[in-house]
Amino acid sequence: MAYAATYSLMHTLEQLLQCKSLLIYRSCIQQHLESAFQSLSSLQVFLEYTSKEIKDIETLKTIEKRIRDIVYKAEERVDSALRRIIILVDQQKRERACKSFNEELQKVEKEVDSLRKELMEIEFIKHGTKSAEASTSTSSKRYATEQHTVVGMKDDFNTILDRLTAQTDQLTVIPVVGMGGIGKTTLARKVYDDSTIRYRFDKHAWVTISQVYNERQILLELVSSISQDKTDESNQKMSNDQLAEIVYRGVIGRRFLIVIDDLWSTEALDQIQRIFPNENNRSRILLTTRLSYVADYASPDFPHHNMSFLSFDESWILFTERLLREDICPPHLDEIGKHIIQQCRGLPLSIVVVAGLLGKIDPTRDNWKKVEENLNSFFGTVSERCQSILSLSYSYLPQYLKACFLYVGGFPEDMEIGVSKLIKLWIAELFVRARSNKKLEMVAEEYLEELIDRSLILAGTRRANGKMKTCKIHDLLRQLCIREAQIENFVHVLSDSDHISSESIKYQRRAMLSLGNHWNHLYVPRHWSGLTSTTSSLVFTGYSFQVYLMPQFVSQFKLLKVLDVSSINYSFSWEEQE
């Protein structure tokens, strides 16, 4: 993550220039700080423009990696040297540390300047695209309210409608099956929000399961939907059995509709289904899954509904609606546009992401042809091609958005991410740059709107004033974030399936612990003491999670700059728990 890395180091150098501490200025020369800062600034400008000018994406990745690796090492050396100065009490030792810092700074200055000169000699073929700043301002609100566009699902909708309103009295499970990105959740949401359907049922609830089943979180969501007189605070204090009892009492004697989205296991279905009584009152459970055997298990006596790919005409309608809204495709782009849509193979997620990509570049034949050529190079199954399309869209992101996008992948799968918290983390991580005398929070909101505009992030709920309250990310895009973040050593995501140890975090720039589903607590053993970590950011993103020996745990991260424990429970005791 070259762009974010350069800005992080620039921020450190800028703080040193502004504070003018005698502690530093005794032993280092201001010109070294200014020279290194200017070289890093040149690298940032270089990245901003070359990311739009290089036709070969692999060349850009190689350049970014070279910049990233050098800047990462430089920042680690600067931060480590500064830390030594700060923690030393003895004046003589501190003087020696200041001298060492000066030496390290001069090395950093030479390395960064040498890299700058090397890269400035590279010649690139320039062609017109929108500037990064312009692309945000032109259409930042364009798709924010169009997340559930439904095209080509009329037959699917009517089929599910018929199943939900059938005269069968017994509790019926209706499975919707299809690959990731085909529109299962979009269809289920359209059905769930339909006024005629809402009218037929007394109680309604929507829960998202994901691959890692979190029973407590699902029960809390069900209680929140079905028993609205209970507060979130009172719910948190209850056991799982008490929560299940509340849900049961809330639906007994009433006709209910429950949507179970993104189901991955029969065990999870069993645990949920036991809560809901079959009173032969025409209650229904609608579920979505990628797995046919889960659908067969859920409804052995009735066939499940298989989602099909969009036809070419349907694909073109979806593409033009997302990209052009009321306009028609310009004649000189019509043929290329249709070739691009053919490469999406009728998968809605691929189509809307490509539309988001094309919406952010100048609508010229050369620019669209370049995207078409990239798509033509992709092979494999529809799923594999989809992954390639998502990767291409990431490659086309402006530099200032890449870090923000990858960071979202650190949150748990299918989680409703609080926008306020996300923005605070983006700002703390130095991903947000000041712009046009705007507050950083406003700039961050524009970043988020642009990612939604590109169909890379999903808009969630909104507040009464219209501002966004939550957002989500499709699990296929989340997988892309985690994969790219690991390649770029940008952020390391630890989940329930990972082995938690000192080594799993030790050499990571950022660590996001997405825990709390199978783990009830994280216990920090004594032998962790003495660990020297290069990690600068540690964020907990789980639900209900206990961390013992928090001071012992956090003290191991010697260069820590960002710490977020707001979503977990933790103990400040230094004593081991029995």
CB 272 within 8 A of CB 161: no
Domain range annotation of the chain: 1-125, 153-306, 312-396, 399-472, 493-569
H or E segment and range at residue 12: helix 2-19
CB 112 within 8 A of CB 71: yes
**Rounded Cα distance, 380 and 167, in Å:** 44
Q: Which two tokens stand for residue 461?
A: 């709920």
H or E segment and range at residue 350: helix 348-358
Query: How many CB atoms sit inside 10 A of residue 148's CB?
Result: 14
Residues 6+ apart with CB under 8 A from 279: 171, 252, 253
CB 517 within 8 A of CB 212: yes
What's domain 399-472's architecture?
Orthogonal Bundle (1.10)
Q: Which of 249, 237, 236, 301 is nearest to 275 (CA)?
A: 249
Cα angle 75, 410, 52 (rounded to 5 degrees) comes to: 65
Per-residue confidence (pLDDT) for residue 188, from 0 to 100: 94
Per-residue confidence (pLDDT) for residue 60, from 0 to 100: 80
Amino acid at 225: S
Per-residue confidence (pLDDT) for residue 315, from 0 to 100: 93
Inter-CA distances, 131 with 46, 53, 126, 275, Å: 13, 11, 13, 54
Chain segment 480-526, per-residue pLDDT in tens: 999 999 888 898 887 755 555 545 555 678 888 876 544 444 555 44
CATH number for the segment(s) 1-125: 1.20.5.4130
H or E segment and range at residue 17: helix 2-19
- Please give the model's pTM, rounded to 2 decimal places: 0.83
Per-residue confidence (pLDDT) for residue 29, from 0 to 100: 62
CB 357 within 8 A of CB 370: no
Q: In which residue are the tokens 């825990």 written?
A: 515
Per-residue confidence (pLDDT) for residue 577, from 0 to 100: 45
Q: In which residue are the tokens 């989940």 written?
A: 495
Q: Which two tokens stand for residue 499?
A: 């082995």
3-state DSSP call for residue 139?
A: helix
Fold exhibited by the domain 153-306: Rossmann fold (3.40.50)
Low-confidence ranges of the chain (pLDDT < 50): 27, 123-147, 502, 517-521, 525-532, 574, 576-578
3-state DSSP call for residue 497?
A: coil
Inter-CA distances, 168 with 28, 164, 172, Å: 82, 9, 8
Per-residue confidence (pLDDT) for residue 127, from 0 to 100: 39
Per-residue confidence (pLDDT) for residue 443, from 0 to 100: 94
Residues β-bridged to residue 547: 522, 570
Per-residue confidence (pLDDT) for residue 247, from 0 to 100: 92
